[in-house]
Amino acid sequence: MARVTTIVLILLASLLAGCGARRVRVEVAAGADGATRTFATNRIDSDEAERVASLYGDGSMKVGGGETAFTATFAQELPSEIGNRNGLSEIATSLGVARFYWESFDAAVDHWSDLEHRMASGELWMRIFGRWAEMQIEDDSRREEFTAALEREYLPLARDLMLLWSAMQAAAQAQRVGAGVRDANDRSQISADERFRRTVFFPLLLLLAERGFFTAAEAQQLMLLGSRGNPNARERNWSVSAVIGPALQRQFRRYVPDAAVPTVPSLLANGVSFYLFASNSSRIDDLLLASPVVPEEDKDRLRRGERGISLPPVFGVSLAGGRTPTETEVVLATEVEPYMTNGVWNPRTRSVVFKGSILDGRERVSLYPSTFQAAWSVPDESFQRRCFGSVILEGEALAAYCGWHQALPTKPRERWDRALEALAGSGDRREFEETVNGFSRTHGAPEAIVRWCRGDTSSSL
């Protein structure tokens, strides 16, 4: 009976969810008794629901609002609902607690194989492009020159660009998960996150300059376009006509001497022509048959003279849309702003929000997937005020104190705790200062507490 009820509830939630992308929502709140976790999704089958329910316990499942949700409190390890991996830990002391959380929704365990596949797919597309481009070059000698340049210049450049791009995407996601390009109408000043990403991605421009695609002046002009935040429509149009177009023209004129400066419409038209060629021409069958990324069943179809096989994504970017990703959102209640996180702090809800997408390892451009993370500390304000008259340890300084305290040998740690308790009880600074001086010589002592002993009440942050 319970299984029948479960199936009915899941079917109801699936009907309400419709046919859109799968969404996963997680809420986590850490406390003294463990972590309360809610896992919700708009799409889950009955077997998966029963498995998750077994992790969360009887009565944990609720259905409503087009989603199925599970809620429970976990004392230690957090559950894995859809192959995700996670962790939540804390170090507690009398002065406060330091907490750390991480979660990855990517189930892949071999990012190297995924990278190899993406790079081989990109190489296949470059060779297909070479076949198409050869058809646009009338002069035999210049066609041969292009074929040689494809192997000597363009393939290595494409591989290096995508390797750089993949690594830089991973670095950007580690700094702020879900980071992306701002809306075209946003004219606000450049943000700190955007400055970081601008620095991270700048080597791409330098690589194009170093390989001779852009001149130094052109590289500088493109660099300056993003210095104020978002270039306006006039500036974007100017960059195409005055910088990018002429750079492309220089490459085209190596093989077609009278080539004009390309325009956006002409580039789009050529793009359509190339895509139709890649999708239908038998002139690339030998490339497809030789490629390790084309499935054997598709190769068998080609050998029988059939067409219409699906081509792999270009360096992980699908030209036909690819599979719909699973959208994820994690809301982590922390009480205080983390001193380190790649999520977005919401001061109104006192929580950190992470938003991302789960993509197949062969259909992404980032070198590795995002891992949500946050580190924060919550001071015991009452005890600190009893000891010091105010809160002198918070944020990263409190977390550092918790790490220092944990690393103390057992007997010194007990002696330190007794000294704090005595200070909180009697307010006798002299005896506590003697303890701090002794620890400074043997085990070091937290700088904020040393300063307090000296009468320096400046912030620990």
Q: Taking the domains of the chain in order of start, what are their residue ranges?
A: 2-108+325-358+361-378, 111-303, 381-453
Distance CA 174, CA 51 (A): 31
- Specify the pLDDT at position 227: 79
Structure tokens at 255: 């093989």
pLDDT digits (tens, 9 = 90+) for 113-160: 999 999 999 999 999 999 999 999 999 999 999 999 999 999 999 999
pLDDT of residue 322: 67
Q: Which residue has the tokens 């989603």?
A: 67
Q: What is the pLDDT of residue 184?
A: 66
Structure tokens at 161: 């660009």
pLDDT at residue number 9: 47
Q: Which two tokens stand for residue 359?
A: 């993509």
Q: Would you call 255 exposed, middle or buried from its count of C-beta atoms within 10 A (0-12, 13-18, 19+)?
A: buried
Segment holding 238, helix H or strand E: helix 233-239
Asked if 336 and 398 count as a contact pair (C-beta separation under 8 A), the reply is no
b/e sequence 58-92, b meaning 16+ C-beta within 10 Å: eebbebeebbbbbbbebeeebbebbebebebebbe
What is the reported pLDDT for 457? 61
Rounded to two decimals, what is the model's pTM?
0.85
- Measure the CA–CA gap between 256 and 2, rounded to whole angstroms: 72
Which one-letter amino acid corresponds to residue 442?
A: T
User: CA-CA distance, 136 to 289, in Å (whole number)?
Assistant: 24
381-386 long-range Cβ contacts below 8 angstroms, 24+ apart? 383/94, 383/95, 383/424, 384/95, 384/96, 386/424, 386/425
pLDDT of residue 428: 84
**Confidence (pLDDT) at 362:** 87
Of 301, 302, 310, 255, the closest CA to residue 278 belongs to 310
Digit-coded pLDDT (tens) for 2-50? 444 444 444 444 444 445 789 999 999 988 888 999 999 999 998 999 9
Intervals of the chain under pLDDT 50:
1-18, 460-461
Neighbouring C-beta atoms of residue 180, cutoff 10 Å: 8
